[in-house]
Amino acid sequence: MSDDRPAWARRITAERAARDWSQRDAVRALRAHAPTELPADESMIRQWKRWESGSLPSEFYRPIIAATFGTVTHAFFPAPGRRDGEREILAASGMETLEIVSRLNRSDVDGATLDALRITTDRLCSEYPFMPSEQLLIEGRQWLRRVVDLHSKSLTLAQHREVLALSGWLALLVGCVEYDSGDRHAAESTRRAALSLATESDHAEIAGWAHEMRAWFALTTGDYRGVVAAAQAGTETAANHSVAVQLAAQEAKAWARLGDRRQVEVALDRGRRLLEGLPHPENLDNHFVVDPAKFDFYAMDCYRLVGEDKLARTLADEVLRAGTDFDGTERSPMRNAEARVTLGVTAAREGDLEQALIHGERALQGNRQSVPSLIMTSRELAAVVRDRYSQEPAALDYLNHLHELGQAKPGFLPA
């Protein structure tokens, strides 16, 4: 079968192979997820062969195929989404940054200025995946101060609430980057500020993300029961928002590390069902939007933890494909790094030390890193390497490199 098939067709084949299913097995699984009766087996097997060959499934079958493989429709069959940049601020608001800042210095604030601030905030949150941490932290803090200063201006009640919300989103962003950079105490203070702003503005979604940050902090420091508690608190607050999908994923990751496979599947399925029912995001890059492709990233982490190596490897390949442009530019370097760690873990478990170390070292080389998350996942690769290859010089070099990374960020030293 040629390699020029659409990505979704290659994925159908890979997902089936990862489960050791024949095409007849796959049709049987498909039936279990279908809302209505499907045609006879022989007809469905012929249909399945056409899908694997590259014939696009109808809109009826796409969500059923996605559910069969434990993911969502737009992760399997991506829809285009907006990816914006500096030009959009000027196009949408007619203002450049200098003019926005000038308007902010006036005694009152008009609607056009708030529109420009919303677009600027969205742009900053969209640059989270790839902008260098130091630069994003500087810009994020600058805009947060500017927006907070608006509270001293003459604002209507609606404008006051909008400014509180914008301050909350920017505080969430700054807190995430602070934590990525290893500044845990600053990140927690900023997270609490975001939660306070959410409470004051009665903004459930921002509050949900503040709880999600607490779950993430707990996950990377080994407080898995704390993850579950934070995820459940956030879900109660923002049950109908996309953040509830990520909260379910963080809970699933915690259960995976606690060794409870059943709870992993329950949490993942809850997140999958919620995400499947949400509208497709307009801006796929915004860090506080759960894009469908991210669900594969969540599941990859869980499957690696519970030892489902074939499934984890298949999803890691998909994460890398979705996170890389046609010219090799990485759109999602932090997700890609964890996907490479996953490939390293599965290679190490299969006895291929060379490939394990290639993936592991490459994961540590990115310019844009979430150090706590990267060390957390790399710790798993280190454990396999230490257990099976402790006498190999190349293995010792990798372990030393990982140890040095931990020392460079106090508080995140791997065990």
Question: Which of the 8 DSSP states describes residue 151?
Answer: G
Nearest Cα neighbor of 171 from 146, 202, 192 is 192
Position 206, amino acid: I
pTM: 0.84
With H, G, I as helix, E, B as strand and everything else as coil, classify residue 196. Answer: helix
Which residue in this structure is represented by tokens 């963080």? 250
Both tokens of 94, joined, read 């007619």
CA distances from 415 to 15, 325, 382, 411, 412 (A): 33, 35, 9, 11, 9
Q: Look at phi and psi of residue 414 and say left if phi exceeds 0, alpha if psi is from -120 to 50, else beta.
A: beta
Cα torsion 160, 161, 162, 168: sign = positive
Both tokens of 242, joined, read 């996309």
- 358, exposed or middle or buried, with CB in 10 Å at 0-12, 13-18, 19+? middle
Asked if 263 contacts 297 with a C-beta cutoff of 8 angstroms, the reply is no
216-220 contact pairs (CB < 8 A, 24+): 216/179, 216/250, 216/373, 217/179, 217/184, 217/187, 217/188, 217/191, 217/372, 218/254, 219/250, 219/253, 219/254, 219/257, 219/376, 220/372, 220/373, 220/375, 220/376, 220/412
Both tokens of 47, joined, read 């249909």
Query: Tens place of pLDDT for every residue, the chain, 415 residues?
Result: 445 888 999 999 999 999 999 999 999 999 999 999 999 999 999 999 999 999 999 999 999 999 999 999 999 998 765 444 444 444 444 455 555 555 555 656 777 888 888 989 999 999 888 888 899 999 999 999 888 888 877 788 888 899 999 999 999 999 999 998 889 999 999 999 999 999 999 999 999 999 999 999 999 999 999 999 999 999 999 999 999 999 999 999 999 999 999 999 999 999 999 999 998 888 888 999 998 888 999 999 999 999 999 999 999 999 999 888 877 888 888 899 999 999 999 999 999 999 999 999 998 887 777 778 888 888 899 999 999 998 899 999 888 888 776 665 544 443 3
- Backbone Cα Rg of the chain: 23
Contacts of 43 (CB under 8 A, 6+ apart): none
Tell me the three-class secondary structure of 217-279, residue by residue: HHHHCCCHHHHHHHHHHHHHHCCCCCHHHHHHHHHHHHHHHHCCHHHHHHHHHHHHHHHHCCC
With H, G, I as helix, E, B as strand and everything else as coil, classify residue 124. Answer: helix
Q: Whole-angstrom Cα distance, residue 296 to residue 318? A: 8
Contacts of 80 (CB under 8 A, 6+ apart): none
Tell me the three-class secondary structure of 332-370, residue by residue: CHHHHHHHHHHHHHHHHHCCCHHHHHHHHHHHCCCCCCC
3-state helix, strand, coil in the chain (%, to 5): 70, 0, 25
Helix (H) or strand (E) holding 30: helix 23-33
**What phi, psi does 30 have (nearest 5°)?**
-60, -40
Asked if 302 contacts 280 with a C-beta cutoff of 8 angstroms, the reply is no
Asked if 180 contacts 136 with a C-beta cutoff of 8 angstroms, the reply is no
